[in-house]
Amino acid sequence: MTPPKPHRVLLDRVSGYADEAAAYVRRRRISRRPFARLYYANGRSGEVGHTDAGAELFVAAGRLIELTSKRGKS
């Protein structure tokens, strides 16, 4: 039996990586939901998930980011 041609080995490896990357992106797209991560003064952090409070924090954080990005451009 002859060994596989070098370009085929490389193609198989690259296509394997591409398949894994595509699967990762699909999983992230499915599970991507708005959330807010809170960092406390003592170093502890927590995540506020799929609640009304989490949605409100997510919107408020988005507004803060938008405000600071506009302020930095001026």
> Domain residue spans in the chain?
1-32, 34-74
Closest of 30, 65, 63, 35 to residue 47, by C-alpha: 35
Question: Bridge-partner residues for 2, per DSSP?
Answer: none
- In the chain, pLDDT over 90 holds for what percent of residues? 1
Other beta carbons within 10 Å of 34: 14
How far is residue 55's CA from residue 14's CA, in Å, rounded to a whole number? 39
Average model confidence (pLDDT) across the chain: 78
Work out the average pLDDT over 19-24. Answer: 83
Tokens of 43: 């170093």
pTM > 0.85: yes or no: no
Tokens of 28: 């992230």
